Amino acid sequence: MRLSKRGEYGLRAMIALAEPAEKGGAPQMMQIKEISLREQISPKFLEQILLTLKNAGLLHSKMGVGGGYYLARSASEITLGQIFRVLDGPVAPIKCVSQMAYEPCGCPDEETCGLRLAMGDVRNAIADILDNTSLADVTKRQNAVRKKLGIK
CATH number of the domain to which 100 belongs: 1.10.10.10
Provide the domain count of the chain: 1
- With 60 as the cut, is the pLDDT of residue 22 above it? no
Please report, for residues 3, 37, 144, the alpha-carbon distance to residue 125 in angstroms, rounded to integers and kept in the order given. 15, 34, 25
Q: In terms of Cα–Cα distance, which of 106, 50, 105 is closest to 83?
A: 50
Question: Could you list the residue range(s) of the whole structural domain that residue 60 is in?
Answer: 5-149
User: What is the pLDDT averaged over residues 88-116?
Assistant: 87
**What is the spatial distance between Cα 16 and Cα 60, in angstroms, rounded to a whole number?**
15
Q: What is the pLDDT of residue 106?
A: 83
Q: What is the pLDDT of residue 32?
A: 94
pTM: 0.88
User: What is the pLDDT averaged over residues 44-63?
Assistant: 96
Q: What is the pLDDT of residue 134?
A: 97
Q: What is the pLDDT of residue 111?
A: 86
Q: What is the pLDDT of residue 110?
A: 84
